Amino acid sequence: MTQKYFATPIYYVNGKPHIGSAYCTLATDTIARYWRTKLGNENVLFLTGTDENSQKTIDAAENAAISIEEYLSRMAGTWKSTFMDVNVSFNDFIRTTEARHTKTVQAIAQTIHKNDDIYKGTYKGKYCTGCEAFYKEADLTEDGCCPTHLKPVKEIEEENYFFRLSKYQDALLEFYEKNPNWLQPTKRKNEILSFIKSGLEDVSISREGAEIGIPIPWAPEHKMYVWFEAVLNYYTAIDTEEQKSFWPNLVNIIGKDITRFHCVMLPAMLMSAGLPLQAGVFAHGFFTVNGHKMSKSLGNVVDPLELSAQYGNDALRIGLLSSFEFGNDGDFSADNFAEFYRSKLAGGVGNLFNRVVVLIHKFLDGDKTPLVMNTKEISENTFCQNVLIKNEKMKTAIEAYKLKETIDTYFEIIALANERLNETEVWKLAKTDKEAATKIFAELFFALEALTEAATFLLPESHEKMTSMLGDVNNVGEKMQLFPQK
Ligand code: MSP
């Protein structure tokens, strides 16, 4: 039986979720929900969680003047409850300070060590705590700052353990050659290929005397470099007899900033440990807010909980995911979001469901029997065929990670149905020719059923309301408003 395993990156806990992290998580959630409809709940696993063994954590706990443990449990709680509040259907939430993670990571590190891919050396380099990464001189800005955080990097020299990444250069190139669609979109694959071809250097994987972190099992005074253990969280989560079969089906949905860790370092570590590689990686783009990078210092960080309180969880999801094609960068603006809600959700989805259900209630007395079409009628009906074509298009798009195209196609079905309503003026027709009007109602009902089915993954909260609206078309009232006008 086919299985699918989707995972978001695990999030640093030095801040709370913003629309960038919500975007990645809701995208993964939407994809996981889609596959559950296709493969069954038991064959889809969706993992998210928090990355806690980081210097950032220590700094943030110090700023908050509380102990690291207290800080971690408070922040992990915030991330988990935020995701639950915005209706993220994760199956597992992993924290890298959990015992299960330490156990798995130490076992894998031992295997890599036994395979002679870890050795001791001295590291001298420039380190950015913001990225938790070393930089080459050539990667820094002209004034020697980190290219992402634009802050000075730290000069570090210490005894470290190193992972023989360089040894895997050819194997990685061969893997990419054989699996051309493994990393998407293509532009990200090209970046990674040229990074590998430019020559891989061994990477330092330990810190001497770090305050927090997972001890290197054979030299516990050294703690593992946070990225070395963090990328293994995906394996920790399935490291049980029942869950193991999910592993080779893992698809990482990540931001474009962390492809090197997921598409070079992790695969090389897995090769060394003798484990199968992930099934694939999709790297999405970044949100800016009104054209600016989102940052605490600019004070333009958008809180997903505020958006959801104002517009609802479904609007948050579909509003973010339809802003720009998954894989590209794009912009968020409160005005565009409000306009999307007004025209597409209230004026589009909500209005269509309301109109059709009210008409059926009024003219058919809520009797749905004449709305049922048999297979032959459906196959001979142009409108229904057009709906089915769009339905298929949505499925093909989401399977190819084209989330915006999936949502645009959903709205094309709404447009088709509205067009049919208006061209037939069915509300007038029903007064003069009930039989002809009933046929149109049946077509419109067919469209609503397709829209309800796709709402399972695109508008999961509305899906329930839609199901109950279609279940009992006499149930028309205020409470059945899907997206009230604001
Ligand atoms: N902890 C690491 C990931 C470890 S995975 C083994 C990390 N955490 S993060 O919290 O900084 O970022 C998590 C994800 O959020 C990244 O994929 C990043 O790309 C994404 N985003 C952060 N800001 C974003 C935007 N403004 N827009 C879209 N996604 C962004 O990196």
| Residue 356 near residue 444, CB atoms below 8 Å | yes
pLDDT in tens, 443-476: 999 999 999 999 999 999 999 999 999 988 776 6
User: Quick one: which of 93, 9, 29, 10 has its CA closest to 313?
Assistant: 29
197 vs 191: CA distance, rounded Å: 10
Q: Ligand 1 pocket, 11 CB below 6 A?
A: yes
- Structure token digits, residue 377: 């009628």
pLDDT, residue 476, reads 64
| Residue 216 near residue 161, CB atoms below 8 Å | yes
479 vs 312: CA distance, rounded Å: 14
Least confident residue range of 83-92, 202-211, 399-408, 454-463: 202-211
| Residue 328 near residue 283, CB atoms below 8 Å | no
Q: Ligand 1 pocket, 20 CB below 6 A?
A: yes
Q: Ligand 1 pocket, 282 CB below 6 A?
A: no
Q: Supply the residue whose CA is at minimum distance from atom 7 of ligand 1.
A: 11
pLDDT band at 367 (very low <50, low <70, confident <90, very high): confident
Which residue carries 């922040």 as its tokens? 75
Which residue carries 């565009």 as its tokens? 336
What letter does residue 458 receive in the DSSP assignment? Answer: H
- The Å distance, Cα 255 to ligand 1 centre, comes to 6
- The Å distance, Cα 219 to ligand 1 centre, comes to 31
pLDDT in tens, 222-268: 999 999 999 999 999 999 999 999 999 999 999 999 999 999 999 99
- Structure token digits, residue 101: 């993670």
Structure-derived torsion over alpha carbons of residues 319, 321, 323, 325, reported in degrees to the nearest 10: -160
| Residue 258 near residue 195, CB atoms below 8 Å | no
- Structure token digits, residue 233: 């969280």
Radius of gyration (Cα) for the chain, nearest Å?
Answer: 26
Q: Ligand 1 pocket, 329 CB below 6 A?
A: no
pLDDT in tens, 201-234: 999 999 987 889 999 999 999 999 999 999 999 9
How far is CA 282 from each of CA 7, 77, 400, 464, 467, rounded to the nearest angstrom?
Answer: 11, 27, 10, 30, 32
Residue 297 has pLDDT above 80, yes or no: no
pLDDT in tens, 29-59: 999 999 999 999 999 999 999 999 998 888 8
| Residue 323 near residue 332, CB atoms below 8 Å | yes
- The Å distance, Cα 157 to ligand 1 centre, comes to 28
Strands 287-289, 330-332: pairing is parallel
Q: Supply the residue whose CA is at minimum distance from atom 5 of ligand 1.
A: 9
Q: Supply the residue whose CA is at minimum distance from atom 12 of ligand 1.
A: 11
Q: Ligand 1 pocket, 257 CB below 6 A?
A: yes
Q: Ligand 1 pocket, 51 CB below 6 A?
A: yes
The residue ranges of DSSP E strands in 263-323, in sequence order, are 280-284, 287-289, 292-293
Average pLDDT, the chain: 95
At residue 326, φ and ψ (nearest 5 deg) are -60, 125
Q: Ligand 1 pocket, 21 CB below 6 A?
A: yes
250 vs 46: CA distance, rounded Å: 9
Other Cβ atoms within 10 Å of 470 Cβ, number: 20
Residue 478 has pLDDT above 60, yes or no: no
- The Å distance, Cα 307 to ligand 1 centre, comes to 20
SS3 119: strand
List alpha helices for 168-282, DSSP H. 169-178, 186-197, 226-230, 233-236, 259-260, 266-273
pLDDT, residue 296, reads 77
Q: Supply the residue whose CA is at minimum distance from atom 6 of ligand 1.
A: 231
The residue ranges of DSSP E strands in 304-377, in sequence order, are 330-332
Residues 6+ apart with CB under 8 A from 57: 12, 13, 14, 68, 71, 72, 212
- Structure token digits, residue 373: 């079409």
DSSP string, 247-277: GGGEEEEEEGGGHHIIIIIHHHHHHHHT-PP
Least confident residue range of 152-166, 264-278, 426-440: 152-166
* Top mutation candidate among 146, 258, 262, 293 for ligand 1, by most atoms within 8 Å of CB: 258
Q: Supply the residue whose CA is at minimum distance from atom 22 of ligand 1.
A: 20
pLDDT band at 365 (very low <50, low <70, confident <90, very high): confident
At residue 135, φ and ψ (nearest 5 deg) are -125, 145
Query: If DSSP states are collapsed to H, E and C, what string results for 77-117?
Result: HHHHHHHHHCCCCCCEEEECCCHHHHHHHHHHHHHHHHCCC
282 vs 475: CA distance, rounded Å: 42
Q: Supply the residue whose CA is at minimum distance from atom 24 of ligand 1.
A: 20
- The Å distance, Cα 22 to ligand 1 centre, comes to 10
Q: Taking residues 73-85, what's their average pLDDT?
A: 98
Other Cβ atoms within 10 Å of 178 Cβ, number: 8
Other Cβ atoms within 10 Å of 381 Cβ, number: 17
Which residue carries 């380099």 as its tokens? 125
User: Quick one: which of 147, 325, 301, 133 has its CA closest to 226?
Assistant: 133
pTM for the whole structure: 0.94
pLDDT band at 403 (very low <50, low <70, confident <90, very high): very high
pLDDT in tens, 102-147: 999 999 999 999 999 999 998 888 888 888 888 888 889 999 999 8
**Which residue type sits at 61?**
A
pLDDT, residue 138, reads 85
189 vs 384: CA distance, rounded Å: 40
| Residue 350 near residue 484, CB atoms below 8 Å | yes
Q: Ligand 1 pocket, 424 CB below 6 A?
A: no
